[in-house]
Structures are given as structure tokens and as C-alpha cells.
């Protein structure tokens, strides 16, 4: 890896990490010392980062992280959603149900992506952006089952952990049944879920688990 990286870029990114660890920011001389580079190099690294809004200079010359990082970070999740969308579409096609991707946000689950499906007269679907506590519904239980066991987890989480998916009936909506599996990924908590009126195909759970694993491999 070392042979194929670029020293100047590597130093600039190391500067970002050092600034992230310094709540009050760093003076150029401090940064130069920590990076073990000449002070003139530290100035040029900071100027370059500043030109991209990734660093901001305080009136006393200290450098802190800049707001340009915030939109970049928000794109990370958008790219993950874009990558997951075709896999959800396939899941809907093979299970003939509506499928969705749910993200954990604090103590809540948020519906982040929906692919409508099902060929009956009536169709049940998730509303994009809706939130519900992680302690309710298959997607919430699936996300909790991806965490280490805890004493205060709701009933059903341990079972979901053992079987690899959560199945709930009528928890979020009377008459609806949901199956959800956690997405195995670093740095994000998510679940793939399908929902149907009353009955799901016999292999739906296996399809949901496979889809969640495939999304985890992509992420």
C-alpha cells in the first residue's frame, strides 16, 4: 500500500486526522511538528485544505476542521442508498412484496429507501422517511439484533439474533407482517425488510437475509 500512495496527499489527510483529535485546533507549527515536516510544508498543506473548505483558520492562526466535511459525510449515506437500491428491487421481485431499507438514527429506525412490490389487489407499503422506535417492528428488532446482547432489549431480539432475522405481525400496522434482517456493515446500522398483508412467501426470510448480506458486502 505504501508504495502506491502519494506522500503529499497522505500528509494532508493525516493533517485532517490530527485536527480531528485537537478540539482547540492546531497552530501550523504544532501541525508541522506532529507531521514531522517543515513548517513551510504545514502551511501549504493547510492552505490547500482550506481552499477546499476542509480546514478553517481561526483569527489567532490556529486551524480547525472546516464545514466542507459535513456535505461530504452526508453523501456517504446517499451513495450507500444508491448502491442498495437495485438489490432491494430484486428482493421485491422475487418475494413479490414491498421491501425497504431502514437506518438506525439514535433510538429510532428511519425508512430510508422503499421498493414497492406485490401483485395483489391491495398493496402495503412503507412511507419514506417515517420513524419509529427501534423497539417496535421487524426492522427495529433486526437492527437491535445486530448489536451485542443487552439486558434491556425488547423480547424478540434474542430470537432474531439466533435465527438471523426478525418476524413481527401487526406491530407497526394491524394486518401487516414484516420480516427484517440486519445489514452486516461497518459504521452504519441498517436492516432490510419486507412487508405484506397477512402472509409472506415461505422463503421470504431467506431472501431478506441474502439481500441484507449482499448489501453489506457492497458497503
Q: Does 76 bind its own copies (CB under 8 A)?
A: yes
Select 9 or 93, whichever has its Cβ closest to its own copies.
Answer: 9
Give min distance, CB of 72 to its own copies, in A. 5
Q: Supply 154's cell numbers.
A: 425488547
Report the residue from 29, 33, 38, 51 that binds its own copies according to the rule CB under 8 A: 51
Residue 16 or 197 with smaller CB distance to its own copies: 16
The residue behind cell 407482517 is 177
Residue 59 engages its own copies in binding (rule: CB under 8 A): yes
- C-alpha Rg value of the chain to the nearest Å: 23
Contact in structure between 180 and 132 (CB atoms under 8 Å):
no
DSSP string computed for 94-135: HHTSEEEEEEEETTEEEEEEEE----SSS---PPTT-EEETT
Beta-bridged to residue 190, according to DSSP, are 103
User: Given the C-alpha cell 432489549, which residue does it identify?
Assistant: 153
CB of 12 to its own copies, least distance (A): 4
Applying CB under 8 A, among 29, 107, 128, 188 the residue interacting with its own copies is 188
Q: Which window, 20-28, 125-133, 156-164, 168-176, contacts its own copies (CB under 8 A)?
A: 20-28
148-187 footprint of its own copies as x/- string (CB under 8 A): --------------------------------------xx
Q: What is the largest CA-CA distance in the chain?
A: 71
Rounded distance, CA 161 to CA 179, Å? 13
**Contacting residues toward its own copies, per CB under 8 A:** 1, 4-14, 16-17, 19-20, 23-25, 43-45, 47-49, 51-52, 54, 56, 58-59, 64-67, 69-76, 78-80, 82-83, 186-188, 217-219
Amino acid at each position: 500500500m505504501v508504495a502506491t500512495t502519494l506522500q503529499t496527499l497522505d500528509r494532508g489527510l493525516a493533517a485532517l486526522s490530527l485536527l480531528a483529535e485537537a478540539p482547540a485546533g492546531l497552530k501550523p507549527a504544532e501541525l508541522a511538528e506532529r507531521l514531522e515536516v517543515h513548517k513551510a510544508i504545514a502551511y501549504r498543506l493547510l492552505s490547500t485544505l482550506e481552499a477546499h473548505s476542509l480546514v478553517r483558520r481561526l483569527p489567532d492562526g490556529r486551524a480547525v476542521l472546516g464545514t466542507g466535511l459535513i456535505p461530504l459525510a452526508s453523501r456517504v449515506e446517499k451513495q450507500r442508498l444508491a448502491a442498495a437500491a437495485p438489490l432491494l428491487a430484486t428482493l421485491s421481485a422475487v418475494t413479490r412484496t414491498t421491501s425497504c431499507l431502514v437506518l438506525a438514527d439514535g433510538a429510532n429506525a428511519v425508512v430510508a429507501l422503499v421498493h414497492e412490490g406485490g401483485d395483489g389487489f391491495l398493496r402495503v407499503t412503507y412511507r419514506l422517511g417515517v420513524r419509529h422506535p427501534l423497539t417496535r417492528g421487524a426492522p427495529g428488532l433486526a437492527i437491535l439484533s445486530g448489536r451485542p446482547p443487552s439486558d434491556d432489549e425488547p423480547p424478540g431480539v434474542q430470537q432474531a439474533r439466533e435465527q438471523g432475522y426478525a418476524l413481527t405481525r401487526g406491530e407497526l400496522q394491524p394486518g401487516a407482517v414484516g420480516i427484517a434482517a440486519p445489514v452486516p456493515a461497518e459504521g452504519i446500522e441498517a436492516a432490510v425488510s419486507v412487508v405484506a398483508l397477512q402472509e409472506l412467501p415461505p422463503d421470504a426470510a431467506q431472501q431478506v437475509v441474502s439481500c441484507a448480506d449482499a448489501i453489506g458486502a457492497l458497503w
